[in-house]
Amino acid sequence: MRKTLQLLTALALALPMTSFVPATTTSTPAQALAPQSQAPQSQEIGTEESLSVRVGGKSRSTMIERPGSGYVKIHFTDVRILPGDVLTVSNPDGTEKYTYTRDLKASLTATIDRSGFWAMSITGDKAVVSVNNPLSRVRIDKITRGYTEAEMSSQPSVQSICGTNDYKDAVCYRSSNPTEFGKTASVAKLLRNGSSLCTGWRVGPKNHMLTNNHCFTSTNGIEVWFNYQCPTCGGTTSATVTKVMADRVLKTNAGLDYTLFSVRNFETITSFGYLELDARVPAVGEEMYIIGHPAGKLKKLSLRDNNNGGGYCVVRAVRVNGSSSQSDISYMCDTEGGSSGSPVLSRRTHKVIGLHHFGGCPNQGVRIDLVAAQINPLL
């Protein structure tokens, strides 16, 4: 990406400048070329640890605990699950539970590799592993777990909180902005290989989701978390999360930084609704908002902008250079690492006008009209 941005810098003089928000805004207009300080907004949110814990025989159950972590994801090796037996991975109270039999593929939640498999992550800092038959045996050889708050605060991040942080828990807008809040359900957190994060969202009524190309081009090990959001404004715990695994990449493009993909167990996420594309170049000054999971947090709605006098976020420039010439729009809506792949919606149509991918203040999203031209035949 850095080489791409350097090449685009060399081309800047040959490209036309864009129009910007009128001087009634207090912020500096975005430049036509994405500056070197802007970067993709995926985010490391966890780490891998090696260990060796056997389950089976006299020890048919064990608990893996990492205090303060937001999730625990377990890898199993030396797997021997007897016919009729079940390996269970759950949280302590059993409200989140995944089961595995000899036919690992049938679970639709196992990521199989050469030495064994990764189970679906468990939300929270404790995961319980058990088998029923003492003759079944597995060994836990490694885990990934979420960073604690202290660890997350020390992680590097591209500056993309533009002034004061104006994003809020999505539910905070349920009463004041019910239409905007109503669009948040179809947006999901993406956990990549147990340790890094992006955002994705359902596009159209069929089994299709969008995120960034720089988030992934292979679905191996990609978890998709729906409903990872506070049930109350300012809360610290999530509502019940529905998790599925990404299934297939349907189309991806580095120049427009998008990946269109499908998921397993699609029927479990249809109730979360979907977003529609607004395949046009938005107007400069058009009000907009972003839904996502900045820094892996519970779902946020970025709707207000202190650079616009505390009013709504607005499109500041169009045909801004991003991964490709004139491919982006820019704005000062607050985002953070992990916001990559978030939908940018118009407040006029409440449809998607951009696919967020760069932080740097101004922040940038790929023009959805360009993406729609490539993916519409598949939707």
Find the CATH number of the domain harbouring 246.
2.40.10.120
Is 10 in the same domain as 123? no
Is 223 in the same domain as 323? yes
Is 218 in the same domain as 279? yes
3-state secondary structure of 35: coil
CB-CB contact of 208 with 260 (8 Å): yes
pLDDT (tens place) for every residue of the chain, 379 residues total: 433 443 333 333 233 333 333 322 223 233 334 444 565 656 778 899 999 999 999 999 999 999 999 999 999 999 999 999 999 999 999 999 999 999 999 999 999 999 999 999 999 999 999 999 999 999 999 999 999 888 887 776 666 888 888 999 999 999 999 999 999 999 999 998 888 889 999 999 999 999 999 999 999 999 999 999 999 999 888 889 999 999 999 999 999 999 999 999 999 999 999 999 999 999 999 999 999 999 888 999 999 999 888 899 999 999 999 999 999 999 999 998 889 999 999 999 999 999 999 999 999 999 999 999 999 999 9
Is 360 in the same domain as 278? yes
Contacts of 160 (CB under 8 A, 6+ apart): 41, 334, 335, 336, 337, 339, 359, 360, 361, 363
Is 163 in the same domain as 285? yes
What CA–CA distances, in Å, run from 309 to 8, 162, 290, 302, 304? Answer: 32, 13, 18, 15, 9
CB-CB contact of 358 with 328 (8 Å): yes
Residue 280 neighbours by CB distance under 10 Å:
14
Is 131 in the same domain as 210? no
Is 281 in the same domain as 141? no
Tokens of 9: 């810098």
The letter for the amino acid at 147 is Y
CA distance 352 to 375: 14
CB-CB contact of 115 with 69 (8 Å): no
Is 291 in the same domain as 196? yes
Domain that holds residue 97: 46-148
